[in-house]
Homo-oligomer: A and B are copies of this chain.
Amino acid sequence: MLKKERQEFILREINLHNKVLTSDLCEAINVSEDTIRRDLSELAETGEIIKVHGGALSKSFHVSFQSNGVYSHDNKKLIAQKAVTLIRDGMFVLTTGGTTIIELAKALPQHLRATFFTGSLPAAMEYIQHPNIEVIFIGDRISKNSKITVGGDAITKIKQINADICFLGINAIDTEHGLTDNDWDVVQVKRAMMQSSKKVVALTIAEKINSLQKIKIAGIEELDAMITDMDPGDKIFDTYKQKGVEIL
């Protein structure tokens, strides 16, 4: 088994169970403990996992409940402000999960009357606070890391929807590889959502721009618009604009 292959296996295992033991892994993959340790160190180096004595934990293991613990909070608020301007009364809106989407949910104006589809527990909790928004939850198995529903049932349901607009919280995007992510199940869901929407909008903080993850969701050309916390005129966006993505 190749090194990269092995590390992806470890990553998947962690995202699945929220933790791994060094001893378990070395038995499962049949390599020495030292090799596993080296892998865990590398993955911890790039910040993909948290290494602890005896194994490693998923980053999302430590759940802080205050919203001020959200990384890059102010930037995400700004993104949310821009995003709400795209939503009109009567629209059918599809959204993923993620902290940026939560900010979007909080920024929705009181008078807005629309129907929101989501598979994200935290996002749904926000949406139902709003008096004039109807919430349809997409059911299936819930992934503990991302707190969204994943699986065939969810995807089938999403495909039955014909939404006006879809907001994607993005983990990584670059001009060459497009939208990428690191959880296979989540990728399937996002892909389905893109296909079920007339218009697809990506939300992301600046530092995730031109970064790359393991699994491809879709190419840049499938995006209609992208919203970031930066000035839309910035030259970093030139390539995106060439490929037909509107920057807000």
Asked whether any CB of chain B lies closer than 8 Å to the CB of A29, the reply is no
- The reply to whether B4 and A57 form a contact with Cβ atoms under 8 Å apart is yes
Asked whether any CB of chain B lies closer than 8 Å to the CB of A138, the reply is yes
- The reply to whether B131 and A121 form a contact with Cβ atoms under 8 Å apart is no
Chain B residue nearest to A129 (CB atoms) is: B63
- The reply to whether B149 and A142 form a contact with Cβ atoms under 8 Å apart is no
Specify how many copies of this chain sit in the oligomer: 2
Residues of B within 8 A of A69 (CB): none
Number of interface residues of A (CB under 8 A): 41
The minimal Cβ–Cβ distance linking A31 to chain B, given in whole angstroms, is 14
- The reply to whether B139 and A57 form a contact with Cβ atoms under 8 Å apart is no
Asked whether any CB of chain B lies closer than 8 Å to the CB of A183, the reply is no
Among the stretches A47-55, A206-214, A225-233, the one at the interface with B is A47-55
Asked whether any CB of chain B lies closer than 8 Å to the CB of A128, the reply is yes
Secondary structure at the A interface, as helix, strand, loop or mixed, is: mixed
Answer whether A53 and B142 are a contact pair too, CB < 8 Å, given A62-B8, A121-B124, A137-B149: no
**How would residues 177 to 212 of chain A score, 1 for a CB under 8 Å from any chain B CB and 0 otherwise?**
000000000000000000000000000000000000
Asked whether any CB of chain B lies closer than 8 Å to the CB of A70, the reply is no
- The reply to whether A2 and B141 form a contact with Cβ atoms under 8 Å apart is no
A62 to B5: give the CA distance in the assembly, Å: 9
Asked whether any CB of chain B lies closer than 8 Å to the CB of A235, the reply is no
